[in-house]
Amino acid sequence: MNQRIGFIGIGNMGAGIVKNLRKNEIEVSFTARQNQRALAATERLTGFGARQAASYEELAQVSDVVMLCLPDTPTVEHLLLSEEGIGPCLGEGQVIVDLSTSYPPSTRRLCENFKDRGIDLLDAPLTGSKVQAEEGTLNVMCGGSKETFDQAQSLFEAFSKNVFHVGESGSGHAIKLINNYFGQASLLTLCEILPFAQKFGVSQQALYDVISVSGGNNATFQGMMPRLMKRDFSVNFQQKLARKDVHYMNNLARETGTPTPMAAAVLSLHDLATARGYGDEDISAMLKFFEEFAGDPTDEKV
């Protein structure tokens, strides 16, 4: 496989990925919106030697592999299926890699659609944050053709620490949704319990020290508890995107006829948080959401 990359989606994750592709001397072209944030990213990425394409048609012409790093399935579908997107510009032998967290049944439909045109589509969502994207230490779980995955593996390794082929089309996106649901369930449990611990007079540091060496410990706890102790609500992953992922998880469970009452509860909490205006805040702000209902921590302790 030739390795000229066309990249769409140079946001928090995408910009770091492009940087690391260039660090590994892989040719990258990209498109960008005309807004202040995108202009700043464009200047940064052209500094690394990436090239900005003026249109999707131009991007398709200079790319062997088109990578998408987009917020949701409707955006991916519009980009690949609409007349104004890049899909109609692609031809036989090219490869699409969807790094987004997308809806697995849509992924399978898109894969079949493009296969009829001789174009392979891999779903290769990521775990990690924008810090890991900058460091080149993301994790990739890839669904789709094993042969195409093998040809693309070196590209994934340019920006990832761990790379897995996890099965047929849609499998990567399904595992990503399951992983994100686990993370959100753990986060909401933590945000729920911290106001209770504070009201009872339990030290957050003591709570962290004990759980860190006990059965309640997990990666979400280790990643989020230090931030919550410092009340660091800086945006890394927006609450509305977390809600979207859990929404996809619940829809997929319904389509497969699988009861997931705990996932439904997590979605309900995110629905309520979104309605109360937390959508653009970081998921760490779910602590503030639970504090709204817990009331004043200086209330009389038991």
The token duo for 70 is 């987009």
The CATH T-level fold of domain 174-294 is N-(1-d-carboxylethyl)-l-norvaline Dehydrogenase; domain 2 (1.10.1040)
pLDDT tens-digit readout, 141-198:
999 999 999 999 999 999 999 999 999 999 999 999 999 999 999 999 999 999 999 9
Q: What is the pLDDT of residue 254?
A: 96
The structural domains of the chain, with segments of one domain joined by +, span 5-168, 174-294
Q: What is the pLDDT of residue 302?
A: 47
Ranges of residues in the chain with a pLDDT under 70 are: 1-2, 34-37, 297-302
Mark residue 30 as left, alpha or beta (left: phi above 0; alpha: psi -120 to 50; beta: remaining).
Answer: beta
Note the CATH architecture for domain 5-168: 3-Layer(aba) Sandwich (3.40)
Residue type, 234: S
Burial of 1 (0-12, 13-18, 19+ CB in 10 A): middle
Residue type, 204: Q
Whole-angstrom distance, CA of residue 66 vs CA of residue 104: 19
